[in-house]
Amino acid sequence: MNNLVDLDAAPALATPTRARRTRILPVIIFAAFALVPLALLLGPQSYVLAVVTRIMILALGAMSLDLLIGYGAMISFGHAAFVGLGAYSVAILASHGITDGFVQLAVALATSLIFALFTGAISLRTKGVYFIMITLAFGQMLFFLTTSLAAYGGDDGLTLAARSTFFSLKFMKNDLAMYYVTFGTLLGAYLLLRAIVASRFGRVLRGIRENPVRMEAIGFAPYRYQLTAYVIAGLIAGGSGFLLANQTEFVSPAYTAWQRSGELIFVLVLGGLGSLHGAILGAAAFTLLADILSHYTENWAMIFGPILILVVLFVRGGINGLFGGKP
Amino acid sequence: MSTALLQLQNLTKNYGALRVTDDVSFTVEPGELHAIIGPNGAGKTTLIHQISGHARPDSGQILFDDHDITDLSMAARAQRGLVRSFQITSILPRFSALENVALAAQARAGSSFRFLGNAAEEPELNDIAMGLLTRFGLGARAHIPAGQMSHGEKRQLEIAIALAAKPKLLLLDEPLAGTSRDESQRLINILQELRKELPIILIEHDMDAVFALADRVSVLVYGRIIACGSPQNIRDNAEVRAAYLGEEAA
Amino acid sequence: MTLTLALVQILNGLQFGLILFLIAAGLTLVFGVMDFINLAHGVQYMVGAYFVAAFTAMTGGFFTGLALALPAALIFGLLLELLIFRHLYDRDHLDQVLATFGVIIFLNQAVKFVWGAAPLNVPIPDALSGAIEITDGLLYPVWRLIIIAVGLLVGLALYLVVNKTKLGMLVRAGASNAPIVSALGVNIRLLFTIVFGVGAMLAGFAGAMIAPILSVEPGMGDNVLILAFVVIVIGGIGSIRGAFIAALLIGLVDTLGRFFAPTLLRALLDPSAASQTGRAIAPMLIYILMAAVLFFRPSGLFPAKK
């Protein structure tokens, strides 16, 4: 019987050099993101700013998924549902004239919380492949729900009347402000997840990933910890949906499609599982690759698909593994 | 109420048509080391699975500390102090030896729903873990990934993990399995110490170890306890000799 | 009137369910015997449809097209197995999901590249293009009846092969305990290849049969794939009987749900709200059904593994 997640594929315990690298690489990544706008002062800003913002939003969703797959060995194939919930919360409220960002964010997080509690509580009763499939099914449920929202665009989706306002200020309208709000959220989520992974809770979660029966035998009931992780990941992904709607000023059922969930997993594995910052590397590589390839040929997917297969077959540990080395 | 710490009452379990546990009743008294022996396939591991909560009996009751724990999960039983080890080494291979033990200590030291603060740097958990590892002669190996330890070391680590979970009763499932003569002697010495501290259920194939350590021995054959008594009693029991010891001797 | 309509919907549901069964049968065996999650099973269905479209256009007859499409689908499936899937059997499920997802991305675009993005149409063979009157006033398309009949026949044949032959015994044994089968000295690689090939061909066959009543287009396998997974998960992984029952269940619930949900809700809500809510709920029904089944039976209705 195969393991769900091959433990060797994720980095092992920190050795001294590894520990230093894992500390330095994230600092470099975030410093680079912080400085991107400055470097662009001379050139054409808006396109590049938008691409990098998109990368950060995608990274946020993939990073939250890392808590589940990389640290908890829970392969959720329905994570895009949360992104969709966050995005639709913004768009639906905005279509009713409620553009206050705090209200929208509160609703986005509340719906993500409820959906995560409900679907997680059922999904986590199952194991292995059944878990993958049931999360997929819940994702599809939400997908069909969004396609049937005739009042909010149905299949065609819904254009955002306006970006969110905070304290009645429309500063999100400014792409640079949007950029730094996204940057701040990503940094915050990264630091939060980093702390969670190292905390008592995170240690239990990692222990369950390695050997759930052993964990039960010393008195930890896996279900409660896994459900909590599922909810945390759902909330962060919901937050990324809030940003996504603002950035694209558009939402559609495609945001919740199962292919999007597959993309999130791909981004994560491409960047490197179980490192958190790997999700950022993966998001950057994925987005840039897709952008560059689509620039040259409309059949970019024919190149993209094989790349995915080759990455799975030959690049163990993802991009982060290439940087940090593996045991 | 009885004085027994653990009481099994008429446990029965079937796998399909096969009866693997057949009307088993026994007790573990405070301070006692109660060994369970039996030929391969006698249902020893299935029995320990039921005591620890890894499997549920089809009928019968398990009382621990005067509470009915028959329907409790393995985790809930561990939280009450019924802690087990595994026949096939069950550790967290990529955690260091220290973290393996510290995590077990964490299970019994306040809530684990704490999301901030580095668990690996909690002195009180690490102190407990280091103390246990040192006691087992593993102090120098504390920071090695558990998966990279020798088999004998893993067997010792397994017991250290169980002890860190503050057991009131320890279930040891073949702790000597697969160990070399030296390793097994070291483990027997450890068990000699442990039996003075807490009651133990010991499942073991090594007869010399069992007769040296046990206060009482139960003999399990085809899921049924055919005899229960002092080591001397069991040695002299004709039925046991026929069903089990005789085979070994032959 | 309603009764006739209900009968039509039941027949539609049966036909849909049997198509799902043709796809799910291979998926559940591959999954059960090889412990391999193949997301690319849906593209096999799509490729079957494209092959029949291409060969029909080339030869001018559907049946010659079908006769060429089936071996083509088989060869195509075995080629994928040889080139890619074979290297994934020993990998974890996450790698399998991702690599086969990559195959989907590639093939969805590849068929667009070869045959264009516009949907293709396959004409129903003339002799079978009509409808017959089943009961008074109930006309039902012959082609759909043929799909039902063929689906039932394949189901019966699979049942006989799996339950009455040596090969079937090995497949069942493999689904419940693969190491035992290889311990018996059986060439497990060959067994895998046969199971995989048959599964791929059945999915291609489903695509070919549905092609005349559905438009053949890129991505047509994606949603069907998800439904097939729902089927095998409800039915219990590795179980042909489970797949058959679950496929009919899904086919009927989905078809009847879409038809009756708005009507039934009218008893509770005003008409426009009822039709809107009904249309929203109907596509979700099967997923709710799946969640409910897994809630009570986390390994599906007929789990093959002990």
> What's the domain range around A58?
47-261
The rounded distance, in Å, linking the Cα atoms of C217 and C71 is 21
Q: Does B144 lie at the interface with A, CB-CB under 8 angstroms?
A: no
The predicted pLDDT at position B3 comes to 79
Say which residue the tokens 């591959």 belong to. C30
Does position A9 have pLDDT exceeding 60, yes or no? no
Least confident residue range of A15-29, B38-52, B216-230, C80-94: A15-29
Looking at chain A from residue 223 to 262, which residues have their Cβ under 8 Å from any Cβ of chain C? 258-259, 262
Query: Which residue of chain B comes nearest to A192, CA vs CA?
Result: B116
Q: How many CB atoms lie within 10 A of CB B142?
A: 18
The predicted pLDDT at position B249 comes to 44
Beta bridge partners of A159: A250
The rounded distance, in Å, linking the Cα atoms of B197 and A32 is 58
Count of the separate structural domains present in chain B: 2
The rounded distance, in Å, linking the Cα atoms of A9 and A7 is 5
The predicted pLDDT at position A326 comes to 39
Does position A286 have pLDDT exceeding 80, yes or no? yes
Interface contact flag, A130 C106, Cβ < 8 Å: no
The answer to whether A267 and A282 have CB atoms below 8 angstroms apart is yes
Confidence of residue A7 (pLDDT cuts 50, 70, 90): very low
**Which among B166, B182, B199 is the end of a domain?**
B166
Phi, psi torsion values for B27, nearest 5 degrees: -130, 160
So what's the ipTM on this one? 0.90
Residue A137 lies in a domain: yes
The predicted pLDDT at position A324 comes to 64
Summarised one tens digit per residue, pLDDT across range B104-158 is 999 999 899 999 989 999 999 999 999 999 998 899 999 999 999 999 899 999 9
The rounded distance, in Å, linking the Cα atoms of C228 and C234 is 10
Tell me, yes or no, whether B75 and B152 share the same domain. Answer: no
Residue A165 lies in a domain: yes
Which of these, B51, B74, B97, B89, lies nearest to B200 by C-alpha position? B51
A7 DSSP 8-state letter: G
Helix orientation angle between A45-72 and A16-39, rounded to the nearest 10 degrees: 160
Does position B239 have pLDDT exceeding 90, yes or no? no
The predicted pLDDT at position A37 comes to 81
Tell me, yes or no, whether B13 and B74 share the same domain. Answer: yes
Q: Minimal Cα–Cα distance from C91 to chain A, Å?
A: 7
- For the four alpha carbons of C215, C221, C222 and C223, in that order, the dihedral sign comes to positive
Does position A1 have pLDDT exceeding 50, yes or no? no
The predicted pLDDT at position A11 comes to 42
The rounded distance, in Å, linking the Cα atoms of B39 and C290 is 45
Phi, psi torsion values for C177, nearest 5 degrees: -165, 90
Tell me, yes or no, whether B36 and B99 share the same domain. Answer: no
The rounded distance, in Å, linking the Cα atoms of A122 and B100 is 30
A4, A74, A126: which to substitute to probe chain C, counting the most C Cβ within 10 Å? A126
Residue A15 lies in a domain: no
> What's the domain range around B219?
1-81+168-250
Which of A5, A141, A304 has its CB closest to that of C92? A5
Q: Minimal Cα–Cα distance from A106 to chain B, Å?
A: 22
The rounded distance, in Å, linking the Cα atoms of A100 and A163 is 9
Q: Which residue type does B201 have?
A: I
Which of these, B244, C172, C228, B10, lies nearest to A258 by C-alpha position? C228
Confidence of residue C4 (pLDDT cuts 50, 70, 90): confident
Question: Number of A:C CB contacts under 8 A?
Answer: 148
Interface contact flag, A308 C230, Cβ < 8 Å: no
Count of the separate structural domains present in chain A: 1
Which residues on B lie below 8 Å from A222 (Cβ)? Answer: 75
The predicted pLDDT at position C178 comes to 66
The rounded distance, in Å, linking the Cα atoms of C206 and C249 is 18
Interface contact flag, A202 B119, Cβ < 8 Å: yes
Does position A325 have pLDDT exceeding 60, yes or no? no
The answer to whether B239 and B227 have CB atoms below 8 angstroms apart is yes
Average pLDDT value for residue range C196-225: 92
CA B57 to chain centre: 18
Query: Which residue of chain A comes nearest to B105, CA vs CA?
Result: A218
DSSP SS3 for B68: strand
Which residues on C lie below 8 Å from A306 (Cβ)? Answer: 102, 106
Does position B27 have pLDDT exceeding 80, yes or no? yes
Average pLDDT value for residue range B220-247: 82
Residue-averaged pLDDT of chain A: 88
Tokens of B207: 């007869």
Residue A122 lies in a domain: yes
**Which distant-in-sequence residues (6+ apart) come within 8 Å of C281 by Cβ?**
C257, C261, C265
Residue A132 lies in a domain: yes
Does position A12 have pLDDT exceeding 50, yes or no? no
Which of these, C212, C167, C193, lies nearest to C69 by C-alpha position? C212
Residue-averaged pLDDT of chain C: 88
**Which among B100, B134, B166 is the end of a domain?**
B166
Domains of chain C with bracketed CATH? 2-131+142-296 (1.10.3470)
Which of these, A266, A273, A218, A214, lies nearest to A12 by C-alpha position? A273
Beta bridge partners of B172: B202
CATH number of the domain that B212 lies in?
3.40.50.300
Residue-averaged pLDDT of chain B: 90
Query: Which residue of chain C comes nearest to A137, CA vs CA?
Result: C287
In terms of C-beta density within 10 A (0-12 exposed, 13-18 middle, 19 or more buried), how is residue C219 classed?
middle
CA distance readout (Å), A89 to A110, A146, A148: 10, 11, 16
Least confident residue range of A158-167, B159-168, B239-248, C5-14: B239-248
Least confident residue range of B19-33, B34-48, C215-229, C275-289: C275-289
Least confident residue range of B17-31, B102-116, B236-250, C135-149: B236-250
Tokens of A113: 């919380």
Residues A177, A178, A182, A184, Cα dihedral to 10°? 10
Tokens of B152: 């004998």
Looking at chain A from residue 184 to 213, which residues have their Cβ under 8 Å from any Cβ of chain C? none
Q: Does A16 lie at the interface with B, CB-CB under 8 angstroms?
A: no
Q: Minimal Cα–Cα distance from A216 to chain B, Å?
A: 5
Summarised one tens digit per residue, pLDDT across range A209-228 is 999 999 999 999 999 999 99
Summarised one tens digit per residue, pLDDT across range C22-71 is 999 989 988 888 888 999 999 999 999 999 999 999 998 899 999 999 99
Interface contact flag, A211 B83, Cβ < 8 Å: no
The rounded distance, in Å, linking the Cα atoms of A62 and A265 is 7
Residue A270 lies in a domain: no
